[in-house]
Amino acid sequence: MKFMNVSIIIPTYKPNPDLLNQIKKSIKNQDFKGKIEVLFQKNRGLAENINNGIKKSKYGIIITLHQDCVPVGNRWIENLIEPLNKENCVASVSDVELPVELWKTFDNTAKILSVKEQKIITPLLDEKGCAYKKSALKRVRLFEENKFRTAGEDFDIYIKLSKVGKIAYPHTKVMHYN
């Protein structure tokens, strides 16, 4: 794998401190040779937080990680960004799993609404644990923060990035604790 440095953007809004500590520990324990910059962005809409982090970031590879998603394994970063070595690849997407022990605590309505998450899902692209070439994000003018404050920005950026390159699904995973 080509040596790369990464900027990890974690948008936050009233985060669970225990989960943030798990995320920090997971990032710290990554078996990764490059430099890692972690940017916590808060008090704005999701797309605006991500864009603000992109603008502040030092490195050419951007990883977005939600405040309630914990990377699985000590090679998560390496496996997630590896597809970006290919010239035509512009983004890479983690699989997402809702922990069974959390799902069991839900009321019946919430269980019914989230039953599809009781397996590992591969989203098209959803920022829960995605990597991007910063140059590709700039090419498509970043996330649309004026139209999408809390949802929808992920599908919009998926459409835009699909027009300029390939999106990879390396089957690395994050656990979604929400």
pLDDT by residue (tens digit) across 8-59? 999 999 999 999 999 999 999 999 999 999 999 997 899 999 999 999 999 9
**Which tens digits make up the pLDDT trace of 70-99?**
999 999 999 999 999 999 999 999 999 988
Homologous superfamily of 6-176 in CATH? Spore Coat Polysaccharide Biosynthesis Protein SpsA; Chain A (3.90.550.10)
| Domain assignments of the chain as residue spans, ordered by start | 6-176
Worst-scoring range by mean pLDDT, 49-58, 75-84, 120-129, 134-143?
A: 120-129
Identify the CA nearest to 160 among candidates 170, 148, 174, 178: 148
What is the pTM assigned to this prediction? Answer: 0.92
Q: Of 154, 140, 130, 141, which Cα lies nearest the Cα of 77?
A: 130
